[in-house]
Structure 1
Amino acid sequence: MKSRIFLYLFLFASLIALYLFVSSGTLSKDKDARIESLSAQTDKLNDSIRDLHLKFLEMEYFSLDNNDDAFAYYQHLNLKNPTGYITDKLLETNESKGDNPLVPYEGMEGNFKINKIKVLNHKWIVADFSDGHYWGDLIIKYELKDDLGVDFSLLDHLLYARSNE
């Protein structure tokens, strides 16, 4: 009787060991397949990140921050962020009562104010303006003086026709 109990225990332990061996092999295959799938997704994401980075660099080609020759124009002023400084000075023109003085149109649904600004180099800015319903673009020439004053002059402008709603 004692030998039968040991025989049954041995058979039961063998079946458990066999089950664990087979299931661990299946789990290992599933995990390997999942790792390969995640690796493929990671490769795709890395490719997407690289593509977006290249597009970003292309979009930032015309930018004071990425133009060393234009940026060197302001090194004697010891400004840490010339783009931010110029942008702030241009946004200060919005503080005047009524329309922004650089916008050559009268606001139709409100006052025209400058919204978005792109400092292209050490001489030119592209800006967007709007009154909430009508909008347009400006090309502005600027000069940053040694006393950190900034003179802005409008080179060209465009007001978009309002689409029918």
Structure 2
Amino acid sequence: MKKSIFMYLFFFAVLYIIFQYANEKAIFGKQDSRIVKLSQKLTKAKDSLSALAKQTEEASYFSLQTNDNAMRYIERLGMEAEEVQQLISDKIYDQNGTPGGNPIIPLKGVNGDFKINKIKFLNHRWIQADFSDGKNWGEMIIEYFFDENNKLELIPLSSLLYSGS
């Protein structure tokens, strides 16, 4: 009787080991396929990030913050680029509240006063600006500089107007 109990225990142990082996093999197979899928997603995400980084680098090519020559020019004036950008941005946006529209914009609005919506610093001398009166919109190039007394001068160089539909 003792022999049969050991024999049944042995068979039960063998069946349990076979079951565990099959179960673990299935789990490892699923984990491997999941790892492969996640690796593919990671590769795709890295490629997307690289593409976005390249686009960002190209988009910021014309920028005060990424132009070493422009930064040196601003520093020679005794200012910081971020300080200059904030000062000029504040002055441009503050003029949006002027009755009759922003005086920097050389056009008169048909549907109200033209106001500058967005600006982009191209370098230490030029700004690209987007403006609108609600229906019509346009873009312009503004030249800025500081005179010998470090007084800010803003000069509209060129503008174009798109018509709303």
**TM-score when normalising by structure 1:** 0.88
Give the counterpart of 1:130 among 120, 124, 132: 132
For 1:39, give the aligned amino acid.
Answer: S
**Cα distance, 1:63–1:4 mapped onto 2, change above 3 Å:** same
Question: Which structure 2 residues correspond to residues 6-85 of structure 1 after superposition, within 5 A?
Answer: 6-76=6-76, 77-79=78-80, 81=82, 82-85=84-87
Comparing 154-163 with 80-89, which one deviates more in the overlay? 80-89
Counterpart residue type for residue 37 of structure 1 = K
Residue 106 of structure 1 pairs with residue 128 of structure 2: no
> Amino acid of the residue matched to residue 142 of structure 1?
Y
1:69/1:143 CA distance change after superposition, 3 Å: same
Shift of the alpha carbon at 1:22? 1.6
Secondary structure, counterpart of 2:53 in structure 1: helix
Task: Could you tell me which runs of 5 or more consecutive residues in structure 1 were left unpaired when the two chains were aligned.
Answer: none
Amino acid paired to 1:126: Q
**Would you say the 8 A contact 1:65–1:83 is kept in 2?**
no
Alpha-carbon RMSD across the aligned residues, in angstroms, is 1.8
Instruction: Confirm or deny: 8 A CA contact 2:131 2:138 kept in the other structure.
Output: yes
Contact kept? 1:64, 1:119, Cα under 8 Å: yes
The superposition leaves residues 77-135 of structure 1 with CA deviations (integer Å, 9 ceiling, x where unpaired) of 23251333322222122132231111122222222100110111111111000111110
Structure 2 residues not aligned, in runs of 5+: none
Distance 1:102 1:46 in 2: 44
**Misfit runs of 4+, over 4 Å:** 145-148
SS in 2 for 1:71: helix
Identity of aligned residues (%): 40
Query: Secondary structure of 1:74's match?
Result: helix
